[in-house]
Homo-oligomer: A and B are copies of this chain.
Amino acid sequence: MDDLDREILSILRRDARTPYTEIADRVGTSEGTVRNRVERLVEDGVIERFTVATRTGNVKAMIEVSVDVNVDTAEVSDRIADWQEVDFVWQVSGEEDIVVVVDAADTDAVNGLITQARELEEVVGTKTRLILNERVG
């Protein structure tokens, strides 16, 4: 992680679709170097993923899920991560086992997801918090 990496990262944060060729021009190096650097940043996990920031007028919520003992939490998390409208699935420590962060069209859709979770036989309970406001750190 040197200054060149940081320069590249700061360009990608602003617009992740900036072509390698343009990044190379702007930071004064070659396309290949930018490509190698970005590949390494992804491998090292510094870049978690390329994504889109969306501004839906949607309802966000956290669904805290408790599963039965003897349940493969990771496997359940995998299945939930495939559902529509799910942003993140976290296995967590504490009272509950899984936290699902959802971004749904309306409260009905949130409700649908809660129902869907409660219908999983491994799930013994859920607690939902609506996210009333989000700030990005």
Contacts and interface: CB of A to CB of B under 8 A. Distances in A.
Interface of A: 6, 9-10, 12-17, 45-56, 60, 62, 74, 77-78, 80-94, 96, 99, 102, 127-137
Given A49-B53, A53-B49, A84 B135 contact: no
B92 A135 contact: no
Count identical subunits in the complex: 2
A92 B52 contact: no
Contact of A134 (B88, B96, B128, B132): B88
Contacts of A127: 94
B137 A87 contact: yes
Contacts of A81: 135-137
B13 A16 contact: no
Given A91-B133, A135-B88, A137-B87, A54 B48 contact: yes
A86 B56 CA distance: 22
Contacts of A10: 84
A82 to B, nearest CB: 8
A16 B50 CA distance: 5
A85 B86 CA distance: 24
Given A16-B17, A99-B62, A133 B52 contact: no
Contacts of A6: 84
